Amino acid sequence: MSVTRVRMAPSPTGYFHVGSARTALFNWLFARQRSGTFVLRIEDTDAERNRAEHTEGIERAMLWLGLDWDEGPYFQSERGPLYEAAIKQLLDRDLVYACDCTSEQVAQRNKAAGRPPGYDGYCRDRHLEPVIGRLLRFRTPGTGSTSWTDMVRGDVVYENASIEDFSVRKSNGQPLFILANVVDDGDMAITHVVRGEDHVPNTPKHILLWEALGLGAPPVFAHLPLLVNESRQKLSKRRDKVALEDYRDEGYLPEAMVNYLALLGWSPGGDREVLSRQELIDEFRLEDVKSSPAFFDQQKLSSVNATYMRSLSPAVLAERAGQWLEARWTPLAPLVQERARTLAEIYGMVDFLYLPEVRTDQADWAKVRRQQPAFVGLLEAAEAGFALCEWDAEGIRDATVEAGNKVGVGTLGKAQAPVRLAVTGRTVGPPLFESLVLLGRRRTIARLAAARARAVREDQAQP
Ligand code: GLU
């Protein structure tokens, strides 16, 4: 049997999407059932979005699910010379060319000629020199077609004439996604590319580049179906709960999560739904994955999770619940220790970390609203600031001060009060910024938005 090598190639964007978790799982199952190799590669060529903590988040999320990798993580940010060598090879063979066009120029030309948007090949024969400092485009063949047999979608054909001369390197020398992705798949001898359906349009480019670089037979592709919500809309981070770590933090069991994720596009047949990890490895078939969108059903996930919880012995359940609780609040322990007088008081100080909804103390709510006329504006400014600041105590503190300044609320204490109320439901508690670090950016912002909406509703209800 030939060697199977698959990879998970996430871009560090700040959280691990449930769709990425499904992709990682399907790659992992495929590798494990064939005694193949599962590679983890971090696609971090975009230096602005690349942060060490994001990468750690990816690794933590995958390990939580038990998806261990055999090689890597490799970091694209450390592999620049490889991409430069590939570009040199393409330049030497005149398979890429330099281009100076701004997107406005391209748009104008297309508009004047009544063409659809997309690059029009203007610089193809201009042989602009030097190529350094200029964007490089791939010379896509104007005729013929590029096709592959997708393990999920069957035969897919693209007319080459419909593929624009896509760019492979930015003018600042940074390789673009498609180039680094193909070079690495070649270098890492990847045999099967298993990834989300959103990458289908990249695949003809992938194959053209692969061939241009003389990498031999292209890998086999399998594009996994889109995940949708109950309205059949693509999952979106604004609308839906898409971060895997939110499920972890709310106390879903990783084995239940793995089981549920395996059912997103695949089914073991019959009405079986509960499968152990080993059963998944034995029974999963990539070629049986369906191409139609898969409904990410939170209710179903909860019911699978409940099934797993019921199957634990009470002692094991208690132990795992204890571990989970501890993992959440332990970082706050030194701070809580200085304030709580009994063990029971600790609960009231840390429960905001566990409860999915804030339990707001009504007297505290009324007090802060009375004391702070700029409540709504302040929360709005804090939401905007928190979306961008560094997610550590200092960064959050600065963003709070800034939000206060924006709406003319004098002191940090005054700016802090509405934020604390919105997030913890109370006016007193452990140090706020450290607490928010633990609660996480997304949940913090969601709670600010919820409190703001409540305040707006109350104001509107006032005669
Ligand atoms: N970095 C790409 C992504 O996160 C990976 C694409 C691929 O798997 O080829 O979407």
Residue 433 CA to residue 419 CA, distance in Å, equals: 10
**How would you label 145-174 residue by residue, b for 16+ Cβ within 10 Å and e otherwise?**
ebebebbbbeeeebeeeebbbbbbbeeeee
Q: Among 308, 117, 291, 140, which residue's Cα sits nearest to residue 221?
A: 291
End-to-end, the C-alpha distance of the chain in Å comes to 77
Per-residue confidence (pLDDT) for residue 48, from 0 to 100: 65
What distance in angstroms lies between residue 11's CA and the mean position of ligand 1's atoms?
7
CB of 9 closer than 6 angstroms to any ligand 1 atom: yes
Rounded CA-CA distance 385/379 in Å is 10
Q: What is the value of pTM for the model shown?
A: 0.87
11 lines ligand 1 (CB under 6 A): yes
Look at residue 359 and give its three-state secondary structure: coil
Distances (CA, A) of 386 to 36, 319, 356, 443: 43, 35, 20, 11
Q: What is the DSSP code (8-state) at residue 96?
A: E
The residue whose CA is least distant from atom 6 of ligand 1 is 9
Contact of 325 with 354, CB cutoff 8 Å:
yes
Rounded-to-integer distance, Cα 140 and Cα 121, Å: 10
- Decide whether any atom of ligand 1 lies within 6 Å of the 202 Cβ: no
Distance (Å, whole) CA 179 – CA 167 = 9
Could you tell me if the CB of 195 is within 6 A of ligand 1? yes
Which of 237, 241, 290, 414 is the catalytic position? 237
Residue whose CA lies nearest to ligand 1 atom number 4: 10
Ligand 1: nearest atom to the Cα of 10:
4
State whether the beta carbon of 22 lies less than 6 angstroms from ligand 1.
no
What is the Cα–Cα distance from 72 to 361, expressed in whole angstroms? 48
CB 425 within 8 A of CB 352: yes
Is residue 44 in contact with ligand 1, taking CB distance under 6 Å? Answer: no
How far does the centroid of ligand 1 lie from the alpha carbon of residue 256, in Å? 25
Distance in angstroms (rounded) separating the CA atoms of residues 322 and 338: 22
**Residue holding tokens 């590798």?**
31
CA distance 280 to 196: 20
- What does the alpha-carbon distance between residue 435 and residue 351 come to, in Å, rounded to a whole number? 11
Indicate which residue's Cα is closest to atom 10 of ligand 1: 10
Two structure tokens written together for 326: 């501890």
Helix H or strand E segment including 138? strand 135-138
Per residue of the chain (463 residues), give pLDDT as tens: 579 999 999 998 778 999 999 999 999 999 999 999 999 999 998 766 666 777 888 999 999 999 999 999 999 999 999 999 999 999 999 999 999 999 999 999 999 999 888 899 999 999 999 999 999 999 999 899 999 999 999 999 999 999 999 999 999 999 999 999 999 999 999 999 999 999 999 999 999 999 999 999 999 999 999 999 999 999 988 788 899 998 998 899 999 999 999 999 999 998 899 999 999 999 999 999 999 999 999 999 999 999 999 999 999 999 999 999 888 888 889 889 988 899 888 888 898 988 878 899 999 999 999 999 999 999 999 999 999 999 899 999 999 999 999 999 988 999 999 999 999 999 988 999 999 999 988 889 999 999 999 999 999 987 6
Q: Which residue has its alpha carbon closest to ligand 1 atom 3?
A: 10
The DSSP element (H or E) to which 244 belongs, if any, is helix 244-249
d(CA 10, ligand 1 centre) in Å = 5
Cα 95 to ligand 1 centre (Å): 24
Residue nearest to atom 5 of ligand 1 (CA): 9
Spatial neighbors of 381 by CB under 8 A, at least 6 apart, are 402, 403, 404, 406, 407
Domain architecture of the chain: domains with CATH: 5-78+227-308 (3.40.50.620), 80-224 (3.40.50.620), 350-461 (1.10.10.350)
Long-range CB contacts for residues 118-126, cutoff 8 Å, separation at least 24: 118/164, 119/164, 119/165, 119/166, 121/165, 123/97, 123/98, 123/99, 124/97, 124/165, 126/97
- Collect all residues with Cβ–Cβ distance below 8 Å to 441 and sequence separation of at least 6: 14, 386, 387, 391
Taking the centre of ligand 1 as the mean of its atom positions, its distance from the CA of residue 7, in whole angstroms, is 10
In a 13 Å sphere around the CA of 458, the CA atoms on its Cβ side amount to 12
With a 6 Å cutoff on the Cβ, whether 10 touches ligand 1 is yes
Is 443 a pocket residue for ligand 1 (Cβ < 6 Å)? no
The total of other beta-carbon atoms located within 10 Å of residue 223's CB is 23
Told to judge if 237 belongs to the known catalytic residues of this protein, a careful annotator would answer yes
- Asked if 229 and 241 count as a contact pair (C-beta separation under 8 A), the reply is no
Counting from 1 in the atom list of ligand 1, the atom nearest the Cα of 181 is 9
Q: Give the CB-side neighbour count of residue 431, counting CA atoms within 13 A.
A: 16
